[in-house]
Structure 1
Amino acid sequence: MSYNSDDYLKLVDSVASWNNNTAQYLAHLWISSYQGDQQNRYSKPMPWIGMYIALASLFCIIAMVADLLHGFRRKTLWFPCKYFTLNSASLTVIAVAIKLPMDLSTLMPSYMDQATKLGSLGFMCTMMSNLLPSLATMDSKELIPNVISLAVLVITLVVNICIQLNTGALFYHVVDDGAGFDLHGYVKSLPSYVPDRHNRFTAAIYVGMLLMLLTIYVCSALAILKSKQILESKYQATHDKAINDQYLQQEGELTVEMLKQHVRYYWIMAGTGSSQFMVTCSVTTSASAVICASSVVLHILLLLFYVENLWDYKSDYKWSMPVILIIQFFGIIVGTISPLSRCFSAFIFKVSMKRFQNHIKITKVESYWTEKLYDWKQSSIPFPSSSRNCKIVMVNLKIIILNICIGFQMTVVVACKIIAVVTFFVVICVFYCIRCWKWLKAMFCTVPREKPERHLSGYVLQLQDDIEFANRTLKGMLKSVNHLIQKAEKRQPKNLMKLLAESRGFDGVEKFDSHRVQPLLSEEYLNCWSLSLVTLTSIAMSLPNIQKNKVDWLVSGVSEGLVYVRLVEECLNATDNHVSIQKAAKTLWVEVEVYHKWLGHKLPKHKPKVNTPGYILQWLRDTAKNKANEVESQDDNSIYKFICANSMYRITETILLSYHENIDEISQEELFAELSSMIADIFAACLTNLPQVIAMKCHQNAIEKREASVQAAAQLLGETTQIINSLQVRELPRLNPDELAFIDKWRAYLHYKKNHE
């Protein structure tokens, strides 16, 4: 039974008058009992804190599994970090996931409790091994703060474990020597706390692993800063070679085959020059994988050693301990896949097995490992004092410290190479098993051997030029990009292609907006592809007698086409004046497509007085003019409304002028067909720029974004293959390539051609 504080005080007061040793003993006993009861009340939330730890661990596991699935889906078996990366958010979640070993005061009396707490250290080793390649995705402004934050977390964890090694908060378990009471109520014996030497030794090993991983992080960060500069210089040289390639220098349009070859070049450049791939193929990654695998083995041995007493939990975390143990054990097992695969890829995918001895030169430390430290050593530092003696001391001190750091860096790299040699023997077994399987497969069935084109090896980027790049890697990369393009080809925009079939030329580009129509304001009026398309689609949707399936087909085709139109505008029309118009078109299209409204007006208009095309066009024109006149302020919303209203006014007035008094003699179906034809012509003109967009998206200045950019280019090429082929048979205006991206340049050329034919 339990008492509240008042009950305890009454008991103490009642025996205070007993002036003997028994009274004093009972008073102390009741006070101790009260303190124990209060401690039990304070520890009630602990199981829910344990569930919070389990949930944070689960989030980390989900992110690691997502990276695994992403690697399998893209066939990048070195598993780049896309979801589980080192940043402030992930560090916060990791700090929660390792709260158990951070806890200095909660006793872990049972083997179950101790195994769970030690398992959190193994889970931390696994997470650090998985996070290592993500260092390469950061620039120097992100890299240094994130590594420092991780270092603070790891050092705090190590210090807390060392404190618990000293105090025994973790490593003592309860041994029941028959504690109980005899018939007279006297205590026969008390339970004792016995130190567990096995756990002390296991914890010490985990501390060593964590410090080794932290050292690897620091050394890798120093190498990344310089390695990116080396890869960047090689990328720029290879980029110049790619743009001067014979495929791009041929006269005429860029064909689909030329674009595919161009994408392959940049795919290899982005893949081999990827900063994450660079880190994956380094000896530090191999060493971290060995440490990760060792932590898994250690944790499994620990669980097997305590398997008989594993489900007996006695700490304040209670029933949450087995939940944490199971979740983190699963995370340790699953999280080991990526580091080991990255370790194997450093040999199987990166270099030829025949040249392994050149890849691992144990006595040689490549310059990029220490070059950043040498740069710091040779750089000048600001001095707070003007004293010459002080400057001499500061310079000498800096040189001594950096010499020590350089020596330590070289020692760590050599140690990592020695550790990497251990993995080589495992890789040798895997490699020869694969070779035997291929040999057996070749005996029973003839498999055509694919040979990569020799000239593609010139687009491989490596830190070390003396390393032979494995042919199997080029084959894998070519297979990957070809698969990506073929997969995208199955997602052709069918509605857009049907809409483009309505186009027979580019006449609609000139017809939709007349030079005779004056803008609503005296300012220079600019057109853009997307706003013109959205406005014409809005007019077509305002015709009430058109069958719904035809309107839906037109809206679907325009929706598919606007995706590619925006890509053209973002890549080729990125001027300030055009960007504001493109932004207005994007906002307006959401209103038109989703709500079937134009600036708040329902399309088509409810119960129009007259269903003639002339009346509908006049209503749209007058509504647009009124909207433009209502605009007074210069805020973003008013500017957006004016841009949309101006476009609607000009286009409707142009159509009315083109038909003169005969506008009411045509049917709504005829006007809808005319609008659809103009929309198709504008799409056709705009999408002739797709080859230039694909070529531009292959190249990306930021090294961290190159892979994603080339992937987007490959997908865009696959999706638009048929569109590019269908448009290349048309005769384009005699404009400069830069002018083909602007609709006003098209209109001026077509207008001039029409008047001078």
Structure 2
Amino acid sequence: MHINVGSKLTEYLKLLNQLEYYGNVPDDSINSLRSYALIVYRSDRQNSFSEPMPWIGIYIAIASLFCSFAMVADLIHGLRNRKLWFPCKYFTLNAASLSIIAVAMKLPMDLSNVMPGDVDQFAKIGSMGFMCTMMANLLPSLATMDSKELFTNIIALVVLVITLVVNVCIQIKTGVVSNTEVEHMLGGDHYSNYLSFYNQSIAIIYVAMILMLLMIHACSSLAIVKSKQILEVKYQAALKDKELPQTGRLTVEKLKKHVSNYWIMAGTGSPQFMTACSATGSASGVVCALSTVLQVIIMLFTVGRTKDYKSDYKWSMMVILIIQFIGSLLGTIAPLCRCFAALSFKLSIKWVWNSMKVFKVEGYWTQKLFDLKQSSIPFFSCSRKFKFLVHNLEVLILGFCIGFQKAVVVACKIIGLIPVFIVICIFNCSCCWKWLKSMLIAFGIVFLKNSEQHETNENFSHYVLQLQDDMELAGITMKRISKSFDRLIKKAEKQQPSNLMKLLKGSTGFEGVEKFDNHHVPPLLLQEPLNCWSLALVTLTTIAISLPNIQKNIVDCLLSGVSEGLVYVKLVEKTLNATDNHVSIQKAAKTLWVEVEVYNKWLGNKLQNFAPQVSTAGEIIQWLSDTAKNMVAEVESTGIGVPIENSKCKTISANSMYRITESILLSYATNIEELSQEELFVQLSVMIADILAACLTNLPQVIAIKCHTSVIEKREASVHAAAQLLGETMQIINILQDCELPFLDPDELAFIDKWRAYLKDPFP
């Protein structure tokens, strides 16, 4: 067997051979020195095994960088949307983030690698501060999960944190978390002894902070479940009192008021907003700030010792230390701002007085545990004595958990008093400044401003959702939430689809809805598929852009208008007619449109690339009709072995082309040969505009529906989408406002076949 002998062992054996050769050294000493060869060999092998460790350090640094980027992304997202409670959008608690966090925490998890250098020690301890920052940033994301996800992710976080804490405690005991370099100790270096004590003390403080944050997460998760139930009850009660009037058409002004009301309910009733404004949210911000202060102190000790890394990780330790320090600094901004923002949201004399009642624990903090305590564990064929024992044990454990939960809440409220006193001081200074300023302003102007502000708050107060009825949001908070809605509407107004509006102006009414598919066309299939808005639009657009004599800029303008329109058409279909029969047709239209718009093809056939004898408008229509008919027959006859979805989409698309082209041929009958391509293009554009106009009359109903969703975690995003849609389509709604709609039920207006039936026979 070949043994890879290292250079150190080779040199050591040569030295022993020389000593033995000269014979001046006793045999006992030679044998004793030979016994150390194994130690030298193991040391040499250990050096070769540790060669990849710097790259593992880079792996840790990259994981830390990902976490830092995610926290900064949430910070930027909150600032851009002026949500000073900084909701978690990118850095959330899930399997992926926990895996990355576990990689970033490898240094404090490492039990065996000695950390003799100052940079090595500071990087290991600094990782725990980075963990505190990440946990504080993750807290609001708990509110985005349902009960099952919340339980699973909290258990995973508990396992990760407990493992981290146990490993750090072991390292404190064994001396890995200290400066234990042998030469310093043997030399009696007092600085080394002091630094060792300092490192161990900081590590113990970080362990306490991490455990406190873990308790905050567990405490918050128990409260979140009950809090959502309370908010949901209040939300449903508000819906009953503030339902949208069903009489008359929805104007833009009615929609704006309707969406703004839901905006207030979704904003104040947001689970993340609720968690950020809670006592645990404030406490986590304070703990995060303290952990970052400790990291700053650690970095001050590192100055001047940037090259003092002597572990197997080598130079990568400095990279890890810098990245995690910067990540902690940037990551602290959101929890700290969240802490002070939560106070400003509720700042009032009543709230300040209530905040002083730190020993008052609201019912929603412990209600979940009380429910578990009152429930009974199911037993199967067990003795009465065993049931009695288990029940008493359950009551005892849950009683302890309730007491512990209350203690954590009280501790969080006490910690939360730190920013309370700071905000009160700032508030008093602000009041003094306003008083001085008011002395320079006429009394009438001040009175007018106060009256307007009171009126604004009065309008929105009915839609505010709060866990406690005796807690009121500050007037400035209501103003801020209302302004955020106005800003979004104004921003969305700048994104209105200009090409679509140009296309809609060419509409002459709703005649195109009836004309595009003539009922006299003989069916190709035994069971004709239903019509849908998007497939009719895609097919008509395909025919229009297949005409080769039309100028490119005109074709591009039509394509852009239809492309913009299909975005809203698909939204109407998804919201109002997502039945099984319609979904398959809508899917075929979606697939076909990608082929038409991107590749300028229709079911594999290159558009404007017809047979040589095809040149006039009539010949093009006839060629498309014949090609579609042949495709349907081919799929029907040789469909064996072809994927069902593919053949179904192809059949639906080809059948639509056949019916529409045959309808065009029937409508022009004998004078089809005299029809020019330009005239046909105009007729097709008008039909497209008519169908778009008919479909988009459903937009107000879509906006109203999108305001409400039964899932509380998605409610804020849904209202945001409704407001965005309203801003983008305000002019479209106004354009279609004066159009006379068919006498159909509101639910029937979403179906093109209902329109066609009415337009064909308005008075059956």
Bucket of the pairwise TM-score, normalised by the shorter protein: over 0.9
User: For residues 436-451 of structure 1, what are the structure 2 equivalents within 5 Å?
Assistant: 449=449, 451=453
2:706 to 693, 697, 701: 697
For residue 472 of structure 2, what is the amino acid of its counterpart?
Answer: E
1:156 to 148, 156, 163: 163
Partner of 2:678 in structure 1?
A: 669
Partner of 2:594 in structure 1?
A: 590
Structure 2 CA distance for partners of 1:14 and 1:149, relative to 1, 3 Å: farther
1:23 has 2:30 as partner: yes
1:455 has 2:451 as partner: no
Structure 2 CA distance for partners of 1:436 and 1:97, relative to 1, 3 Å: farther
1:298 has 2:294 as partner: yes
1:128 has 2:135 as partner: yes
Structure 2 CA distance for partners of 1:171 and 1:71, relative to 1, 3 Å: same
Structure 2 CA distance for partners of 1:501 and 1:30, relative to 1, 3 Å: same
1:14 CA displacement:
8.6
1:361 CA displacement:
2.2
User: For residues 533-572 of structure 1, what are the structure 2 equivalents within 5 Å?
Assistant: 533-572=537-576
**Contact 2:457–2:479 (CA under 8 A) maintained in structure 1:** no
1:499 CA displacement:
0.3
Query: Hey, what's the Cα distance between the residues in 2 that align with 1:241 and 1:565?
Result: 32
1:678 has 2:687 as partner: yes
**Contact 1:235–1:269 (CA under 8 A) maintained in structure 2:** yes
User: For residues 648-667 of structure 1, what are the structure 2 equivalents within 5 Å?
Assistant: 648-667=657-676
Partner of 1:616 in structure 2?
A: 620
Query: Hey, what's the Cα distance between the residues in 1 that align with 2:684 and 2:12?
Result: 89
For residue 355 of structure 1, what is the amino acid of its counterpart?
Answer: W
Counterpart of 2:180 in 1: which secondary structure? strand
Query: Hey, what's the Cα distance between the residues in 1 that align with 2:102 and 2:700?
Result: 48
For residue 502 of structure 1, what is the amino acid of its counterpart?
Answer: G
Q: Deviations over 1:206-235 (max 9, x none)?
A: 111111111111111111111111111111
For residue 231 of structure 1, what is the amino acid of its counterpart?
Answer: L
1:240 has 2:240 as partner: yes
Query: Hey, what's the Cα distance between the residues in 2 that align with 1:105 and 1:486?
Result: 59
1:335 CA displacement:
0.7
**Contact 1:519–1:525 (CA under 8 A) maintained in structure 2:** no
**Contact 2:113–2:312 (CA under 8 A) maintained in structure 1:** yes
1:342 CA displacement:
1.2
**Contact 2:529–2:652 (CA under 8 A) maintained in structure 1:** no
Partner of 2:645 in structure 1?
A: 636
**Contact 2:9–2:37 (CA under 8 A) maintained in structure 1:** no
Unaligned runs of 5+ in 2: none
1:360 CA displacement:
4.7
Partner of 1:182 in structure 2?
A: none
1:513 CA displacement:
0.5
Partner of 1:184 in structure 2?
A: none
Structure 2 CA distance for partners of 1:192 and 1:284, relative to 1, 3 Å: closer
Counterpart of 1:336 in 2: which secondary structure? helix
Query: Hey, what's the Cα distance between the residues in 2 that align with 1:135 and 1:152?
Result: 16
1:629 CA displacement:
0.9
Structure 2 CA distance for partners of 1:519 and 1:339, relative to 1, 3 Å: same
**Contact 1:373–1:406 (CA under 8 A) maintained in structure 2:** yes
1:275 to 271, 278, 296: 271
Counterpart of 2:530 in 1: which secondary structure? coil
Structure 2 CA distance for partners of 1:6 and 1:642, relative to 1, 3 Å: farther
1:409 to 405, 408, 412: 405
1:367 has 2:367 as partner: no
Counterpart of 2:311 in 1: which secondary structure? coil
Structure 2 CA distance for partners of 1:444 and 1:630, relative to 1, 3 Å: farther
Partner of 1:107 in structure 2?
A: 114
Higher mean C-alpha deviation, range 192-201 or range 555-564: 192-201
1:627 has 2:636 as partner: no
User: For residues 41-56 of structure 1, what are the structure 2 equivalents within 5 Å?
Assistant: 41-56=48-63
User: For residues 171-186 of structure 1, what are the structure 2 equivalents within 5 Å?
Assistant: 171-174=178-181, 176=183
TM-score by length of 2: 0.93
Q: Deviations over 1:417-476 (max 9, x none)?
A: 111111101222343455567678876999995632513211111110011221111110
Structure 2 CA distance for partners of 1:420 and 1:489, relative to 1, 3 Å: same
Partner of 1:419 in structure 2?
A: 415
2:697 to 674, 688, 699: 688
Partner of 1:185 in structure 2?
A: none
1:46 CA displacement:
1.0
Query: Hey, what's the Cα distance between the residues in 1 that align with 2:669 and 2:735?
Result: 35
Counterpart of 1:172 in 2: which secondary structure? coil
1:6 CA displacement:
7.4
Structure 2 CA distance for partners of 1:46 and 1:241, relative to 1, 3 Å: same
Structure 2 CA distance for partners of 1:171 and 1:127, relative to 1, 3 Å: same
Q: Deviations over 1:674-723 (max 9, x none)?
A: 00000000000000000000000000110111111001000100000000
For residue 591 of structure 1, what is the amino acid of its counterpart?
Answer: E
1:191 CA displacement:
14
**Contact 2:123–2:317 (CA under 8 A) maintained in structure 1:** yes
Partner of 1:86 in structure 2?
A: 93
Counterpart of 1:109 in 2: which secondary structure? coil
Query: Hey, what's the Cα distance between the residues in 1 that align with 2:173 and 2:432?
Result: 54
User: For residues 486-525 of structure 1, what are the structure 2 equivalents within 5 Å?
Assistant: 486-525=490-529
1:12 CA displacement:
7.0
Higher mean C-alpha deviation, range 231-240 or range 565-574: 231-240
Higher mean C-alpha deviation, range 53-62 or range 29-38: 29-38
Query: Hey, what's the Cα distance between the residues in 2 that align with 1:693 and 1:359?
Result: 42
Partner of 2:202 in structure 1?
A: 202
Q: CA RMSD in A?
A: 2.5
Unaligned runs of 5+ in 1: 180-187
1:110 CA displacement:
1.8
Counterpart of 1:700 in 2: which secondary structure? coil
Query: Hey, what's the Cα distance between the residues in 2 that align with 1:101 and 1:143?
Result: 26
Query: Hey, what's the Cα distance between the residues in 2 that align with 1:723 and 1:129?
Result: 45
Counterpart of 1:720 in 2: which secondary structure? helix
Identity among equivalent pairs (%): 63
1:36 CA displacement:
1.8
Query: Hey, what's the Cα distance between the residues in 1 that align with 2:500 and 2:437?
Result: 45
1:153 CA displacement:
0.6
For residue 720 of structure 1, what is the amino acid of its counterpart?
Answer: T
Query: Hey, what's the Cα distance between the residues in 2 that align with 1:389 and 1:622?
Result: 84
Partner of 1:259 in structure 2?
A: 255
Q: Deviations over 1:299-357 (max 9, x none)?
A: 22233245343542111111111111111111111111111111112210134354222
Structure 2 CA distance for partners of 1:550 and 1:192, relative to 1, 3 Å: closer
**Contact 1:111–1:173 (CA under 8 A) maintained in structure 2:** no
Structure 2 CA distance for partners of 1:76 and 1:192, relative to 1, 3 Å: closer
Partner of 1:138 in structure 2?
A: 145
**Contact 1:347–1:353 (CA under 8 A) maintained in structure 2:** no
Query: Hey, what's the Cα distance between the residues in 1 that align with 2:58 and 2:196?
Result: 27
Query: Hey, what's the Cα distance between the residues in 1 that align with 2:185 and 2:457?
Result: 79
Q: Deviations over 1:474-522 (max 9, x none)?
A: 1101100010001000111010000001102111111000111132112
TM-score by length of 1: 0.94
Query: Hey, what's the Cα distance between the residues in 1 that align with 2:601 and 2:433?
Result: 63
Query: Hey, what's the Cα distance between the residues in 2 that align with 1:178 and 1:678?
Result: 90
Counterpart of 2:181 in 1: which secondary structure? strand
Partner of 2:68 in structure 1?
A: 61
Partner of 2:230 in structure 1?
A: 230
